[in-house]
Chain A
């Protein structure tokens, strides 16, 4: 149950007791069962947001000031200048750790500022000594020097900067999967922080932003580092990745799914639908085995190993979470997360005919959207009904304009969709009639 719901319940309790619906004892037991609802005041939340934004802006401002490149300064002055902001940032952070170890706002702000100052310092030295334009080394040095701050200062902003940084770093190795794959172990360093943030879900906004940044970074880095040694494997990798996000978004941690998981759930669902929708088009399957962007590497090559291992791990995790949800009979969630499984099937049968994958995904999206509508009707949830209808409409419109399919197939598809609609309506009207 969400925090909001528990809070609502607690507000209701006194009235329920006075009206004699609950006894004092049951109310106490309810309180005991759900536990205390921790929350930060609005003021503290504002302080954290303002403090972090302020630190971020000042830090970036200092970087820009140094980027101007003051010609008249000697090398010695520049050396002092490059260390000065860094040391100030460190003193600030130290003071916070010493005097205000309990203040989230101070810690987040100081850690953010220090993270940026480390970058400013290395950048100014690069400038002074005309260090070659090897962006990768510059970024990686910077990131490795700031990631400990996430843990020592329990701050999320250094983790966010770090994730963005290592993504950019892996981007500089987009043509070298062996190096780009190092993104994954590097990213794994932030996992304990995520778990920590999850346990203390009092800073909901902070962790939501962090998880959103994580999703974007991991998505981009997947594009850089995976699927380059095995042609067409992206049709399995990306659905697996997003289904993991989606399933994690539903995972119950201590009886509740927390608000920070919402980005995972929403982005995961949208991405899964978009991918499945894309897979209903012929061009995806037609050009899957064609050679593009220089993917001429040998699969058995040793440099392909990290790609294969990480890909296997991602797909296995997606399958495991899918199995877990099926076992627990979470049908709606499982159905959404079935995209990677279907992608594997479609990938293996595409050799028979390009039509089979298309049929598979058209049927899947049809079942998915209709079952969503039914589920929504059953639970009187208009939002779910509407998203289901929208998904169905997108599918139908796409098929109408899909000129790749011949008229017979198009006609048949339309008849099937139409029949499906009629059947759905029939079932729904019967059910509603029964309810009356």
Chain B
């Protein structure tokens, strides 16, 4: 694949990924990942100390689906919107068809509950460390490690980053 074509596909993947989360299409979110995958959200504090405890962890598409089902049916939380801003995606390596990328992100959260309706705040800022593979010509995340600089989570984290 041409470098420009590869870059265009990866940028489209990133844009589609955050649009999925920001437009509350959570049911489609697991399909951005390969069947066996690693989605891990980890506080900067632990990443810096080399400690393993994550905030969210899924090592299969099924486990990500379970997160979504819980989000829709089980968990209670203040309704809110996300708006992701992702910086330029840098391709840091390519080996055996696995493309490694890195990008900064910021997520603004807007509350929709009666107490704070319409209040926006910077909710989370950090870095995506991704591994992307192509399956049937379609790029998917084999691995997405979200290192969250905002180790102090405002209230709770229920919607994926």
A and B from one assembly? no
Q: What is B's interface to A at a CB cutoff of 8 Å? A: none
